[in-house]
Amino acid sequence: MRILHLTADWKWTGPADPMLNAVVGLRERGHAVDVAFPSPPAGQAGALLERARERGIAPIHALRVGRGYVPLRDRAEVGRLREVLRQGEYDVLHTHHTRDQLLAFWASRGLPVRRVASWHSGEPIPDRPWNRLRFGPRALSGLVVLSPGLATAAVRAFGWQPGHVGVLPGCVDAERYRPREPSRVLLDELGIRSGERVIGVVARLQPHRRFDLLLEAFARALRDTPGLRLLVVGRGTRVAQVVDEPARRLGLEASLIRAGYRGEDYAEVLSLLDALVFLVPGSDGSCRAVLEAMSMRIPVISSRRGVLPELVRDGQTGRVVDEDPEQLAAAMREVARDPVCWSAWGQAARSAVLESYTIERGAERLEKLYSSLGSSRSAAA
C-alpha cells in the first residue's frame, strides 16, 4: 500500500511519536509510507522535524504553519496538498489533528484515497454534532482509537461498522527501552543510596497532573516506610508552586529528587526506578511513559483515568488505585515492603509490552485496518 501520514503540527506533541512509530513499523512491513508536516519556525529546536530525521524520516511536503483551518487562507494549501495526493497515488491518507483532517477532507475530495483519522485521547470522542461530522463514516473511511472501550463508544455514537474502527494502543521501541542495570554514575549524581527504593513520576510539572495527591500520598507512605525516595522527571513553568513548595510543607526535601527534563539519558534515568506512578495522562492519551517503564521491567501504579486501567493490570503488572491519598500511599508502601512481588510484576510488565505494545504489533494492527477498508465505500465524495 501507498500511505501518507499527515499532521499540521510542527511541534513534538503527544501524537507525534505514535505517528512516527506507525511510519517506521509500516515501512518495515514493506509499505510505501510518506509523511507531511510543517517545518518549524526559525530557531525552534526539538521539533517534530528533528525527531523524524533521527529515525530516517523526511517529509515529502511541508504544510504551512497555521492555527486552525481558515477556508480563505488555506485554499492554496488545499491545492498544494491535492497535487501531492495526485502525484503520490496514495491508497490511505491518515491524519492526526483537527487542521490536517480538514485540509485532507477538502484536498482529497473526488480522489480514490481512503481517509483515516486517529483520536489520540484516552477519553471517548464527545458525541457532538461537529464531532459526528468529523469522526463519522460520512467523512472518513476508518477511525483509529486507543482501546477497545473507545472503539465501542465510537461505534455506538457515530454509527460506524465495527470493522472500520481500529484499535491502536500506544507502542514502544522495546529494544531502546530494554531492561538494564542502574547506572552507578546516575545513582551517585542523584544521591540515591544502596537499599533505597525509588518511586518515580514522569510528567509535565503542572497542577492538573495531580502532584498534590502524589506528594500527600508519598508523605503518608514515608511516615512508616523509611528508605523510600521520590524521583520527579520533567519540567514546567510552575515548578515551585507544583512541587517545591508543597514538598517543603510536607517535609519531603530529603526524600525528593528532582531530576529535571532528561534527553539522551532518559532511559538510564528510568532504570533507577523500582516503580512508576502515573496519575493523569497528558496530550498523549496512550500514556507513552507508562509503556516505556513497563518495557524496562518497571511496574506501574496508576489511576483509573483514560486507558490506564487497560495498560496496567492490577495485581499483575502493578497497582490501579483510586485518586485517594491513602490508597496511593498503600501501593507505595508495597513497593518497599514486598520487592520480590514487585520485581515479578515488572517482569510481567515487560512480557505484556512484547506481546501487545511493540512498534511491530502496532503496524500489524494498522495494516489490518487499512486492508479492511479496501472494499469499503471510498471516502471520496
Q: Same domain for 167 and 191?
A: no
Query: Residue 183: what pLDDT?
Result: 92
* Higher-confidence position of 10 and 379: 10
Q: What is the DSSP letter of 61?
A: B
In the numeric block, which cell numbers belong to residue 38?
510543517
Dist CA 114 CA 104 (whole Å):
10
Q: Same domain for 253 and 196?
A: yes
196, 172 Cβ separation under 8 angstroms: no
Q: Same domain for 288 and 341?
A: yes
118 located within any domain: yes
Q: What is the mean pLDDT of residues 341-360?
A: 97
Pairing of strands 197-202, 165-167: unpaired
* Weakest-pLDDT range from 44-53, 214-223, 322-331: 44-53
Q: Same domain for 192 and 164?
A: no
Beta bridge partners of 300: 276, 318
In angstroms and rounded to an integer, the radius of gyration of the C-alpha atoms of the chain is 22
Q: What is the mean pLDDT of residues 213-240?
A: 93
Number of domains in the chain: 2
Residue 104: give the domain boundaries. 2-171+359-372
Q: What is the pLDDT of residues 52-106, one digit of tens each?
A: 999 999 999 999 888 888 888 889 999 999 999 999 999 999 999 999 999 999 9
Q: What is the DSSP letter of 112?
A: S
CATH of the domain at 296: 3.40.50.2000
Dist CA 78 CA 127 (whole Å):
28
6 located within any domain: yes
Q: Which amino acid is at 187?
A: L
Task: Quickly list DSSP for 311-380.
Answer: HS-BTTTEEE--S-HHHHHHHHHHHHH-HHHHHHHHHHHHHHHHHH-BHHHHHHHHHHHHHHTTTSPPS-
Q: Same domain for 120 and 19?
A: yes
Residue 380 has pLDDT above 50, yes or no: no
Q: What is the pLDDT of residues 244-271, one digit of tens each?
A: 999 999 999 999 999 988 888 999 999 9
In the numeric block, which cell numbers belong to residue 376?
469499503
Distances (CA, A) of 32 to 2, 26, 51, 95, 318: 5, 8, 20, 16, 39
| pTM (2 d.p.) | 0.88
Query: Residue 377: what pLDDT?
Result: 35
Dist CA 4 CA 36 (whole Å):
7
Residue 378 has pLDDT above 70, yes or no: no
378 located within any domain: no
- For residue 197, which phi and psi values (nearest 5 degrees)? -105, 130
18 located within any domain: yes
Q: Same domain for 272 and 345?
A: yes
